[in-house]
Amino acid sequence: MAGLKETNFQLHPEQEFYKGKVRDVYYLGEKIIVVATDRISAFDHILPKPIPYKGQMLNEIATHFLEASKDIVPNWLEATPDPNVSVGKRAEPIMIEMVVRGYLAGHSWREYKAGKRVLCGVVLPEGMKEADKFPTPIITPATKAEEGHDEDISAQEILSKGIVKAEVWDTLCRYSFDLFELGTKMAAERGLILVDTKYEFGIVDGKIILIDEIHTPDSSRYYIKEGYEHRQVLGEKQKQLSKEFVREWLMENGFQGLEGQIMPVMPDTFVTEVTDRYMNLYHLLLGKTFEKAESDIIDVRILRNINDYLSQS
């Protein structure tokens, strides 16, 4: 299977379309139809080759966590008519990514290692090493860019620029911490540690709801819980579940999303390895074996299932 790189459906004469880094989004009035493709992004760039079955895995993982959290925070999801498709409420997006960090890893570690001790207005403790746990989880928000890199921003800047009002910001923080607490609990039940993640929110009928995916390997980082303390004491790398290994491969091949850098093309052997890694993540997160959907002509299957759903709704 080559993987689903993109879709170009005509679902309605007046539809609107948005192509995200990973998802193709169709707007039909107040309804939104989201197709999870097999595209993969890193450093805010889409890689040339898709990862077979990645879209299905991400869609099923996201659905699992959206269903599990809907009583804590209202969300957009209404139906999943195809393994790669989610349907739900159209929201006016709040252009902030709520990044919650429980541990010093990824971007926060790279900034810390470079000598920074304030990240998004949050003062970081001295004397930390990679993968250390923060005293309490922190929020390091980012502006959500239509194209290019998301930018770190502080709560003070968000409020002073009027991006959201104080009461909205307070709700976003409360919802984010509540979701992170649930995600942490669910991860622990699977022998995992939820390291960091991001949440996105929107507004429907004046109410804030959770949108997009949550707690997937694309939006979150996990450590293996068993042996975590031992590895920290010895200064060993933590065993992690995320697409960080893809970022690491890109960095090893001279690409970090910076101007003038040329993105390397993943060899087919590495593409297969990425698919296998995602399948392992799927099993660890959900506790079940991934079942591949019919994939001979994947876009035909998806379009058929979407049209069947629309004809019945």
Environment class of 79 (CB within 10 Å of its CB; exposed 0-12, middle 13-18, buried 19+):
middle
State the pLDDT confidence band at 118, using cuts at 50, 70 and 90. Answer: very high
Q: How far apart are CA 4 and CA 254, in angstroms?
A: 27
Q: How far apart are CA 111 and CA 108, in angstroms?
A: 5
CATH 3.30.200.20 in the chain, residues?
16-92+251-275+286-312
Q: How far apart are CA 37 and CA 130, in angstroms?
A: 33
Pick the CATH number of 93-245 from 3.30.160.20, 3.30.470.20, 3.40.50.720, 1.10.3130.10: 3.30.470.20
**Is the predicted pLDDT of residue 147 greater than 60, yes or no?**
no
User: Residue 261: phi, psi to the nearest 5?
Assistant: -85, 145
Could you tell me how far CA 197 lies from the centroid of its own chain?
7
CATH 3.30.470.20 in the chain, residues?
93-245
Task: Look up residue 164 and give its two tokens.
Answer: 């959201």
**Among 275, 102, 119, 106, which Cα is nearest to 176's?**
102
Start-to-end C-alpha separation, the chain: 32
pLDDT at 61: 97
Q: Is the Cβ–Cβ distance between 76 and 88 less than 8 Å?
A: yes
| CATH topology (fold) of 16-92+251-275+286-312 | Phosphorylase Kinase; domain 1 (3.30.200)
- Crossing angle of the two packed helices 54-69 and 268-286, in degrees rounded to 10: 20
pLDDT at 156: 97
H/E element, 210: strand 207-211
Q: What is the mean pLDDT of the chain?
A: 94
Rg, Å, the chain Cα set: 19
Give the rounded percent of residues in the chain with a pLDDT score beyond 90.
Answer: 88
Strand partners, 31: 28, 89
Strand partners, 118: 123
**What is the arithmetic mean of pLDDT over 18-27?**
94
Nearest 10 degrees: Cα torsion 121, 73, 65, 196: 10
Instruction: Flag the least confident range among 138-147, 224-233, 245-254.
Output: 138-147
Q: Each residue of 273-290: pLDDT tens digit?
A: 999 989 998 999 999 999
Task: Look up residue 117 and give its two tokens.
Answer: 């001790």
State the pLDDT confidence band at 216, using cuts at 50, 70 and 90. Answer: very high
In the block, which residue shows the tokens 């074996």? 289
Q: Which residues of 263-298 are buried (b: 16+ CB within 10 A; e: fewer)?
A: beebeeebbebbbebbbebbebbeeeebeebebeeb
Q: How far apart are CA 258 and CA 6, in angstroms?
A: 25
Environment class of 28 (CB within 10 Å of its CB; exposed 0-12, middle 13-18, buried 19+):
middle
